Chains A and B, each alone.
Chain A
């Protein structure tokens, strides 16, 4: 029995090129990023992108469980993506779905190239992502959060990973799909970019695009990820900035 039925709106983009949530074609949704939110984890981050609310934790490097899975020359990177039962309109069973298992793998593969795994042989680095509210593009928001959590844990990395989903609605290319656009649009292209090399570590696509449109999407992705990347840097700086130290000093005075 469905409580709220997601209905296809008459138009996804109006005659002024404004989307259903009031955004322009190339606008990202509002982003909030916070680093070091979980006191027990080695590294953690909380990210909001539009209605998405994502928590990411990193534990490790630590001993591998079970031991026989250890690799002699590098760390094992394990990524777990889970959606809370209440993160979607209709309650989702807590047991992992096939989609969650696929995304665990895909997100892990997007992040792994950024980590210097060979610096931690015979260990395990575990990243857990919990979506507490979903609103389209959770895998991209998850990658952004996990990237921050890995950096926060002090793990040796080549750089951060930033991700966004580009898509198509009513024939026009749009940046950062929300849930409605994801469900009812004509294309969904999540992309993750590994900095500083600026290479693609995740790319998937469903829909229909011409060759030209596809190239445009890649360019849009690079531009959008640049913005996201800067927000990630800002969040890391905020967490470890001197102001925090000075505030502590004042408290003790």
Chain B
């Protein structure tokens, strides 16, 4: 996958095709559903340049091919899925992907668009016409009266390739300028864990903490709760998920953790 000239004709970085990669990413949540009796060996930590395979498998995410052998391209966890050997990076920047929902901060404006920091090496652009869903006349309208520098938006990436910086859209439901609440940053590669398979983890957290969430694939989470204590608890939960993302049975442990924390805070507040 990291073959030297591994870019397709659209100039898009050819990880795998997007479907494959999404399938592999959602599989990460799958480990949750395996019963504890099926003991899967915990994933091996591999180093950049570590030899993984000599001709039995195909090169997946986080690997490269040299001399017909597959090597790890980043520090990460080894994973074998069917014919593919993958290395799930432990850390790493958020590389924008078309279709991802992201949360970003406006850092600059042009006459007809906003420049948005999506906490990635690439600055994204949101056009005024997209936000307003109508033609925008810069001679009569000031873009900053709609969204200003320092504002936070929830948007979808509608284009990104080697020749163009990411472009955002807020046309879909639930997207747009965010008001109130707070932001939490987490490691982007662990966001799928926060969501869980078919949302199992995030729904668990929502039920227990009564907080509203907007989740950015770029590792930025917006949340709004009724009580500050609930919001603080969510931060603790997210940090725990980050630390234990690659272990099994995490959803159950998080449930236990939340119950323990709630009991502890009830005791502190004198609730019986």
| Residues of A participating in the B interface, judged by any CB pair closer than 8 Å | 42-43, 60-63, 72-73, 114, 116, 118-124, 151-160, 195-197, 233, 236-237, 240-242, 245, 248-249, 252
Contact = CB atoms under 8 A, between A and B. Distances in A.
Contact of A245 (B13, B163, B165, B243): B243
A248 B244 CA distance: 9
Contacts of B165: 122
A196 B51 contact: yes
B4 interface: yes
Given A118-B4, A196-B71, A154 B93 contact: yes
Contacts of A152: 75, 91
Contacts, number: 99
Given A61-B121, A122-B122, 6 more contacts: A60-B121, A121-B162, A154-B89, A155-B74, A233-B47, A252-B240
Contacts of A123: 121-122
B28 interface: no
A242 B62 CA distance: 21
A69 to B, nearest CB: 14
B257 interface: yes
Nearest to B247: A245
A237 B91 contact: no
Contact of A159 (B48, B91, B95, B244): B48
Interface of B: 2, 4, 13, 42, 45, 47-51, 62, 64, 66, 71, 73-76, 89-93, 95, 121-123, 162-163, 165, 240, 243-244, 247, 257
Contacts of B13: 119
A114 B71 CA distance: 13
Interface of B: prevailing SS: loop
A236 to B, nearest CB: 6
Contact of A154 (B45, B66, B91, B243): B91
Contact of A60 (B51, B91, B93, B243): B93
A209 B174 CA distance: 71
A151 B47 contact: yes
A72 B47 CA distance: 28
A128 to B, nearest CB: 18
A149 to B, nearest CB: 11
A63 B94 CA distance: 12
Contacts of B75: 151-152, 154, 236, 240
Contacts of B2: 116, 119, 156
Nearest to A61: B121
A107 B219 CA distance: 32
Query: Which of B122, B165, B257 neighbours the largest number of chain A CB atoms within 10 Å of its CB?
Result: B122
B73 A116 contact: yes
Q: Which of B47, B66, B92 has the most CB of A within 10 A?
A: B47
Contacts of A151: 47-48, 74-75
Contacts of B42: 242
B64 A116 contact: yes
A63 B45 contact: no
Given A116-B2, A152-B75, A158 B243 contact: no
Contacts of B121: 60-63, 120, 122-124
A252 B90 contact: no
Contact of A241 (B45, B244, B257): B45
Contacts of A245: 243-244, 247
Contacts of B48: 114, 151, 156-160
B257 A154 contact: no
Q: Which of B64, B95, B121, B240 has the most chain A CB atoms closer than 10 A to its own CB?
A: B121
Given A195-B49, A240-B45, A155 B92 contact: yes
Given A156-B2, A252-B257, A63 B122 contact: yes
